[in-house]
Every structure is written in structure tokens, then in C-alpha cells.
């Protein structure tokens, strides 16, 4: 071992290394990543793919003066290691530990934060323009994957970058993979580029352009020669050059020597230039290298030798995504108008089975939430029954489409809002805690959340049998799953209740998995409460609310999402408007972003755990006595 990975203090430690030493360092970093992520879990494959690239970037550029921005940020682990954060990898994605993404508060080497895809290019343009306005001189280096590159935001940004012509080195990290296989027409275009004349064959011409420049000639002229040579050599590359962007590549992303040469040229280049780097996702760990399913993109703890991932579900449990996806498959058997869409999350949304059973009715739209939402709306308008599976936090990007297309035209799209509530280790960018607040505001929308696997099936069936936009939200974990013997529609807006009787001393209104958790704890501890399953957030069960108010019992609304605009807000609004007198005690996430950590820890810190709830219940019951 060249140097202990944990002793790296910053990029200056690698600046004097030879290529051989950088190669050895890369190999050590790779071993470190595998050993470390095997213990903590995390985004393995994407990071294994960018080891040499990130080493070369830090060798050539001078962070933090130069700004290296990783799109999404899930592939920034090597950057973290090279900027002195290796010792913190034991705490990766844990509460108060190292974030899984770039984080400004974590390091001066993180100039930007993300978690959602395709924002790096716009961020880079902002930095480049600000640099020029301030007459400063540094490089801006966005690193964008092939799937993130074709997200709508990236294309919008490239369009402006091509016209602004600010200095910027755009690293196009092309591993021909999204989480699972990449899709779309531009991916085909990139395949042609990938297999075009490799940059290694062109470097003679470029160094020729440099060497033929006469001594004393201005740097600008020299660079103009390089620029013309770059342009001249890339005849096949229509996509980037059509956007007025210069291009070098493709370069082997695991060949440090070629990478350094290319990056040095790009660094001196005037105007925006795209460096096309071909990498192998999962490089150096055979299980991850050979994976096309997305299993190794983000993993829990695993056994390095066997590749066994250690995240066993409880007996009879299925992930919520699978419960929903299985049900959609089942309903699609008898309804051939059911079509399924996902913006790049086939594996996360567990849609593999639907895609293989009904390939002609299944659409992976790529990282394109806005497009997927309008596409789904149009399918509904044309008489199909679309199911749009989308993570809560990524759905935020399509809010205008949910409003402008789906809600306004009142189109019967069924949306499966996956990863609702706190998701845990991915943290603030990924918690799905805003969708109740957001969808509640949209006319025509029906919004619900099942308490268990059985109710999920019935609600989904209900959703496909009505004529409005219908969203069913479900969290990241799992639940008991057994296929129902018979589908039955659930009346829209109806709630259910447990132990609404004379003995009850308080009422808890809650939803989702917490319904059974609260019931179970109240039963075990013999706490005399009524528990209401508020399975619809919109519309609400007004009759049940009126009956609650009549009891004059204390009422607690127990939410595990952002409080502002959520279920208790909805209840307060309707009670106010209908003159129902029912003061509420509200438990939920206060007005701030929640960081990363395990779910039990976050629930505790946010004071939305069962202990907090039952302490409150006890206090209210004693107060009433
Ligand atoms: C708006 C948004 N949609 C979906 C995702 C989920 N997501 C995270 S990484 C990723 C694939 C990224 O692929 P690429 O940019 O090629 O990077 P790679 O992992 O291949 O290096 C996706 C779909 C996200 N983070 N943000
Ligand atoms: C980086 C990113 O956005 C995804 O990889 C995300 O981490 C997936 O989350 P799940 O593990 O919940 O599917
Ligand atoms: Mg990729």
C-alpha cells in the first residue's frame, strides 16, 4: 500500500505522485470503498466506476479553488476520500455522519449540493458567470453521468452553456448505465460516440497543434489551434457540437495517463468543453461489474466474498414497492388498458415483473419526471389507465405537470408515490415528506395511504376504478403481503377506526404503517385510546371528524411528514370551515429539512416516535382526569 487511505489530508497529497503511484492509489481506494461500503451500505457501483477519473481530476484541477460538482452526488465518495474524509467513512450515511452526497457544510471541497439528478450543469453555469462577473479565474468542472446528462434540466442548461460560452470543463462520465440499463434515443447517440475513434488516436493531432504553435504566440492563439483541432477531429459528434460545445473524447476512464493528458488540455481550453470519459460501472468488483439490474448501484451491507446483500425482510413481508407492483401486474391481467411508467426507477419501484410480462405496456422514461407525468396524463386522456410509479421526492420536480395536466384536465392517472415519508440514509434530498402538502392543494386529486399490504391492494383497485387523478403513497420499508382473495372498492374519503367506545380517553388520528404500530402499543400497554386510520388525506372523512368532535375527547393527529400543510392542517381547515369545534394536538415534522440517519434515530430526533406520542397521550389523559 502506497499510503494509508485514511491519512490523505487533501488533494495536495497526490499532486507530486507519478502515474504509477496514482494507479496504485486508485487500486487502494477501490479496496477501501468495497471494504467500507460492505459495512455501511451506500452507492457502490457508481463510485467504483469513477476512481481513476476522480484521482485524475484532483491531480489536474486545484480544488477548492477549482469547483468540482458531481451531478446527483452519489458518485462523490472518491472525491470525499481525496479531500481528507476517508476516516469518516465508518459513519457514511449515518446520523451526524458523512453524507452520501456532496455537502457544503462537510468540506470546502464541496461547492454545491444535490441528490436529485441533472442539476450540476445549471449550477456550473451559475458559478462560471459569477466568476466572470467578479473577474476571478478558476475552473468549473461539472461531472455528469450519461443518464443525468439527458435529464431535461441538463439539456436546458447545455442549451444556455452553448450560447454563453463561459469557460467550463464538462466531464461526461459515460458508463452506459443509469441505475440499471440506460434508455432513450440519446443513449443510442452516445453509443455511436462511445465506439467512435478513441481520443487516444487523436492526441497526436492535438499535441501537434500545440507544438506547431510558434514560440511567443499568445496562449489564446495556441488554444484556438487546439480548439480547431478538437473540432476538426470530431465529425461524428453531432449532439454536443450542435449545441456549440467543444468536445474531446472518448477517453478511457480507467487509464490515468490518458485522463491526465486530456484534462490538462481541457483545463487550458477557452469556452465550454465536454470531455467524454468512458467508465465501467462497478469496476473492480465482479458482482457489481456484471450487474445490469441496478442491485449494486445502492446497496445495504453485504458479504464481499459471496456478494450476499444483508437486508432480509421479516417473514411474510414484501417491500411496499413490490406489493404495489405485484398488484398492478395482477390488475393488468384483466385490464389491458393498464400501462406503467417510471422515470428511471424500474428496480427501485420493483417494476421488473411488469416490464417482462407486458413489455409493450411498460415505459422507462429515463430521468424525466416532468415528461413522464405529461406522458401519463396524455395516455389517460386517450383512454388508457396509466400507473405512474414515482418516488415522492422526485415527484416534486413534476409538480407543474400534476397541476397543469393531470389535475386541471382531471385525468385518471394512478400515481404510485413510492418512498413517502422519511427514507433514512439518503437524507434531506430524498425524504418524501412534502407530497401530502403538495397534492392536497390540487383540485380533483384523490390522495391516500394504506395502513398495510391488504389495504394497499384494495386502494389500488379502487384507484383504477374511478375517474380522477388518484395518488397512493407508500414508504420505503416492507409490510405483510398476501394476495387478497377478492378486490373490493373502498369508498373514497372513508376512514376506519379502532376502539371507538365509552372507555376511550383520547383519539389518535394517524395513517400508514403507524396505524397498526399505535394500535399494537396501545393494546400491549392497555392504554384506552381510539385509533383512526385516516387513509385518505383528500377527501377527508368529515362524518368521522364530526363524531370525534362530539366525544369532546382530546384528539392527537400523529403525522410523520412535514407538519405544515399536512393531515392536521387539512383537518383544522375543514373543522374551521364547517364550524366543528375540535382542538388538535399535532405531532409531526417541524418546519425544517431532516438530515440523514436510520429511521428509528430520525423519528426519535424529530420527536415523531411512538414514545413521544404515548408520552403525549398519557399527559393528555392525566390532564383530563
Ligand atoms: C430527479 C431524479 N430522478 C431520479 C433519481 C434517481 N437516480 C439516482 S442516480 C440515477 C442514475 C444516474 O445515472 P448516471 O447519471 O448515468 O450516473 P451513474 O450512476 O451511472 O454514474 C438515478 C435515476 C434522482 N437522483 N433524481
Ligand atoms: C442516488 C439516488 O437518488 C438513488 O440511488 C437513491 O439513493 C435510491 O434510493 P432507494 O435505495 O430508496 O431506491
Ligand atoms: Mg451512468
Spot the catalytic one: 85, 103, 131, 281: 281
Q: Look at residues 289, 309, 330 and tell me which one is the last residue of a structural domain.
A: 289
Nearest CA to ligand 2 atom 11: 298
Which residue is it, cell 415522492?
392
**Mean pLDDT across the stretch 470-475?**
98
Domain count for the chain: 3
Query: Does 506 lie in the same domain as 475?
Result: no
Residue 251 within a domain: yes
558 is in an annotated binding site: no
- The three cell numbers of residue 466 are 374511478
The larger pLDDT score, comparing residue 213 to residue 129, is at 129
Q: DSSP characters for 553-583? A: --EEEEEEEESTTSHHHHHHHHHHHHT----
Establish whether 264 is a catalytic residue. Answer: no
Cβ proximity of 18 and 48 under 8 Å: no
**Mean pLDDT across the stretch 93-99?**
98
Query: Does 467 lie in the same domain as 412?
Result: yes
What pLDDT sits at residue 472? 99
560 CA distance to ligand 2 middle (Å): 20
Query: Does 120 lie in the same domain as 65?
Result: yes
Q: DSSP characters for 430-456? A: T-B-SHHHHHHTSTT-EEE--SSHHHH
Query: Does 511 lie in the same domain as 467?
Result: no
Pocket-testing residue among 113, 426, 475, 599, ligand 2, by greatest number of atoms within 8 A of Cβ: 426
**How does pLDDT run across 144-173, given as a tens digit for each residue?**
999 999 999 999 999 999 999 999 999 999
Measured from the Cα of 367, ligand 1's closest atom is 3
| Dist. CA 68–CA 142, nearest whole Å | 6
Residue 367 within a domain: yes
Spot the catalytic one: 113, 322, 369, 405: 369
- The three cell numbers of residue 99 are 453524507
Measured from the Cα of 397, ligand 1's closest atom is 1
369 is in an annotated binding site: yes
Q: Give yes or no for residue 351 CB within 6 A of ligand 1.
A: no
| Dist. CA 258–CA 461, nearest whole Å | 56
Domain span including residue 371: 317-480
Query: Does 278 lie in the same domain as 366?
Result: no
- The three cell numbers of residue 495 are 376512514
491 CA distance to ligand 1 middle (Å): 38
ipTM of this complex: 0.99
533 CA distance to ligand 3 middle (Å): 42
177 CA distance to ligand 3 middle (Å): 4
The larger pLDDT score, comparing residue 552 to residue 216, is at 552
149 CA distance to ligand 1 middle (Å): 10
What pLDDT sits at residue 188? 87
Residue 388 within a domain: yes
182 CA distance to ligand 3 middle (Å): 7
Residues comprising the chain, all counted: 625
| Dist. CA 385–CA 338, nearest whole Å | 5
Q: What is the DSSP letter of 385?
A: E
Instruction: Say whether pLDDT at 525 is over 80.
Output: yes
Residue 303 within a domain: no
Cβ proximity of 581 and 575 under 8 Å: yes
What pLDDT sits at residue 195? 79
* Torsion sign over Cα 482, 486, 488, 494: negative
What pLDDT sits at residue 623? 85
Residue 306 within a domain: no
Residue 460 within a domain: yes
**Mean pLDDT across the stretch 65-69?**
98
Measured from the Cα of 426, ligand 2's closest atom is 7
- The three cell numbers of residue 175 are 458508463
Residues with C-beta less than 6 Å from any ligand 2 atom? 72, 74, 179, 297-298, 348, 419, 423, 426, 476
Q: What is the DSSP letter of 215?
A: T
- The three cell numbers of residue 558 are 400523529
CB-based burial, 590-602: b 16+ in 10 Å, e otherwise: eeeebebbebeeb
What pLDDT sits at residue 232? 45
Q: Identify the bridge partners of residue 319 per DSSP, sorted by sequence position.
A: 478
Q: DSSP characters for 456-512? A: HHHHHHHHHTSSS-EEEE--SSEEE----SS--PPPTT--EEE--STT--EEEEE-T
Q: DSSP characters for 344-359? A: S-TTTTT-HHHHHH-G
3-state DSSP call for residue 144? strand
**How does pLDDT run across 294-329, given as a tens digit for each residue?**
999 999 999 999 999 998 888 899 999 999 999 999
Which value, to the nearest 10 degrees, does the dihedral of the CA atoms of residues 458, 464, 470, 473 take?
40
Burial of 83 (0-12, 13-18, 19+ CB in 10 A): buried
Q: Look at residues 272, 289, 306 and tell me which one is the last residue of a structural domain.
A: 289
| Dist. CA 528–CA 621, nearest whole Å | 9
Backbone angles phi, psi at 563, to 5 degrees: -70, -40
Query: Does 503 lie in the same domain as 472?
Result: no
**How does pLDDT run across 254-273, given as a tens digit for each residue?**
999 999 999 999 999 999 99
**Mean pLDDT across the stretch 46-50?**
98
Backbone angles phi, psi at 199, to 5 degrees: -60, -30
Query: Does 618 lie in the same domain as 541?
Result: yes
Is this prediction's pTM over 0.80? yes
| Dist. CA 406–CA 444, nearest whole Å | 9
Establish whether 281 is a catalytic residue. Answer: yes
Ligand with an atom nearest the CA of residue 74: 2
Query: Does 337 lie in the same domain as 281?
Result: no
Query: Does 243 lie in the same domain as 121?
Result: yes
CB-based burial, 315-330: b 16+ in 10 Å, e otherwise: eebbbbbbbbbbbbbb
52 is in an annotated binding site: no
Measured from the Cα of 429, ligand 2's closest atom is 3
* CA distances, 32 to each of 35, 74, 77, 146 (Å): 5, 17, 11, 26
Residue 297 within a domain: no
Query: Does 264 lie in the same domain as 372?
Result: no
41 is in an annotated binding site: no
Radius of gyration of the chain (CA): 27
- The three cell numbers of residue 380 are 389517460
- CATH of residue 583: 3.40.50.920
**How does pLDDT run across 168-178, given as a tens digit for each residue?**
999 999 999 99
404 is in an annotated binding site: no
Which residue is it, cell 496504485?
24
What pLDDT sits at residue 196? 74
Spot the catalytic one: 397, 476, 497, 603: 397
Ligand with an atom nearest the CA of residue 151: 1
Query: Does 432 lie in the same domain as 325?
Result: yes
Residue 58 within a domain: yes
- CATH of residue 360: 3.40.50.970
74 is in an annotated binding site: yes
Peptide bond into 64 cis (omega under 30): yes
What pLDDT sits at residue 201? 52
Pocket-testing residue among 178, 289, 372, 417, ligand 1, by greatest number of atoms within 8 A of Cβ: 178
Instruction: Say whether pLDDT at 208 is over 80.
Output: no
Query: Does 545 lie in the same domain as 457?
Result: no
What pLDDT sits at residue 230? 57
Amino acid at each position: 500500500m502506497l499510503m494509508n487511505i485514511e491519512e490523505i489530508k487533501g488533494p495536495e497529497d497526490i499532486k507530486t505522485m507519478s502515474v504509477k503511484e496514482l494507479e496504485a492509489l486508485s487500486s487502494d481506494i477501490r479496496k477501501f470503498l468495497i471494504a467500507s461500503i460492505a459495512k455501511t451500505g451506500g452507492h457502490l457501483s457508481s463510485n467504483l466506476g469513477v476512481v481513476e477519473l476522480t484521482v485524475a481530476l484532483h491531480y489536474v484541477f486545484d480544488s477548492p479553488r477549482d469547483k468540482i460538482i458531481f451531478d446527483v452526488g452519489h458518485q462523490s465518495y472518491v472525491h470525499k476520500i481525496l479531500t481528507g474524509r476517508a476516516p469518516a467513512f465508518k459513519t457514511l450515511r449515518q446520523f451526524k455522519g458523512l453524507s452520501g452526497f456532496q455537502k457544503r457544510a462537510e468540506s470546502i471541497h464541496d461547492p454545491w449540493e444535490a441528490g436529485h439528478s441533472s442539476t450540476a450543469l445549471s449550477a456550473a453555469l451559475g458559478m462560471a458567470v459569477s466568476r466572470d462577473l467578479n473577474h476571478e479565474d478558476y475552473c468549473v468542472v461539472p461531472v455528469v453521468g450519461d443518464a443525468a446528462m439527458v435529464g431535461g434540466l441538463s439539456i436546458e442548461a447545455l442549451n444556455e452553456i452553448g450560447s454563453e460560452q463561459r469557460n467550463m470543463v464538462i466531464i461526461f462520465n459515460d458508463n452506459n448505465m443509469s441505475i440499471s440499463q440506460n434508455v432513450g434515443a440519446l443513449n443510442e447517440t452516445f453509443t455511436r460516440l462511445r465506439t467512435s475513434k478513441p481520443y487516444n488516436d487523436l492526441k497526436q493531432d492535438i499535441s501537434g497543434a500545440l507544438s506547431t504553435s510558434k514560440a511567443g504566440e499568445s496562449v489564446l492563439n495556441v488554444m484556438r489551434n487546439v480548439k480547431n483541432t478538437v473540432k476538426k477531429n470530431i465529425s461524428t459528434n453531432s449532439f454536443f457540437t450542435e449545441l456549440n460545445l467543444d468536445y474531446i473524447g472518448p477517453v478511457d476512464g480507467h487509464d490515468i495517463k490518458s485522463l491526465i493528458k486530456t484534462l490538462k488540455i481541457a483545463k487550458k481550453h477557452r469556452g465550454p468543453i465536454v470531455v467524454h470519459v468512458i467508465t465501467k460501472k462497478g469496476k473492480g468488483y465482479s458482482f457489481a461489474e456484471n450487474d445490469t439490474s441496478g442491485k449494486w448501484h445502492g446497496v445495504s451491507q453485504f458479504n464481499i466474498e459471496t456478494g450476499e446483500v444483508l437486508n432480509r425482510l421479516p417473514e411474510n413481508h414484501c417491500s411496499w414497492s413490490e406489493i404495489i407492483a405485484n398488484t398492478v401486474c395482477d390488475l393488468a391481467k384483466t385490464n389491458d388498458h393498464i400501462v406503467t411508467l417510471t422515470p428511471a426507477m424500474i428496480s427501485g419501484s420493483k417494476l421488473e415483473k411488469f416490464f417482462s410480462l407486458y413489455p409493450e405496456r411498460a415505459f422507462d422514461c429515463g430521468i424525466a419526471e416532468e415528461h413522464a407525468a405529461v406522458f401519463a396524463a396524455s395516455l389517460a386522456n386517450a383512454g388508457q389507465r396509466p400507473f405512474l410509479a414515482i418516488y415522492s421526492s422526485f415527484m416534486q420536480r413534476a409538480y407543474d405537470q400534476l397541476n397543469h395536466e393531470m389535475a386541471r384536465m382531471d385525468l385518471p392517472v394512478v400515481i404510485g408515490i413510492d418512498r413517502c415519508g422519511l427514507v433514512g440514509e439518503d437524507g434531506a434530498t430524498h425524504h418524501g415528506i412534502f407530497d401530502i402538502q403538495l397534492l392536497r392543494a390540487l383540485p380533483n386529486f384523490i390522495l391516500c395511504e394504506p395502513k398495510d399490504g391488504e389495504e394497499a391492494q384494495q386502494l389500488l383497485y379502487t384507484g383504477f376504478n374511478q375517474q380522477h387523478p388518484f395518488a397512493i403513497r407508500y414508504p420505503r420499508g416492507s409490510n405483510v403481503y398476501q394476495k387478497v382473495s377478492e378486490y373490493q372498492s373502498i369508498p373514497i374519503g372513508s376512514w376506519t377506526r379502532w376502539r371507538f367506545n365509552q372507555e376511550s380517553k383520547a383519539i389518535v388520528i394517524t395513517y400508514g404503517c403507524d396505524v397498526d404500530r399505535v394500535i399494537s402499543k396501545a393494546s400491549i400497554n392497555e392504554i384506552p385510546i381510539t385509533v383512526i386510520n385516516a387513509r385518505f388525506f383528500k377527501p377527508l372523512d368529515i362524518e368521522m371528524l364530526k363524531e370525534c368532535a362530539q366525544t369532546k375527547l382530546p384528539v392527537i393527529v400523529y403525522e410523520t411528514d412535514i407538519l405544515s400543510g399536512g393531515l392536521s392542517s387539512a383537518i383544522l381547515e375543514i373543522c374551521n370551515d364547517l364550524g366543528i369545534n375540535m382542538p388538535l394536538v399535532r405531532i409531526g415534522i417541524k418546519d425544517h429539512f431532516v438530515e440523514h440517519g436510520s429511521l428509528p434515530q430520525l423519528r426519535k430526533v424529530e420527536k415523531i416516535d411512538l414514545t413521544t406520542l404515548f408520552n403525549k397521550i398519557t399527559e393528555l389523559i392525566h390532564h383530563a382526569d
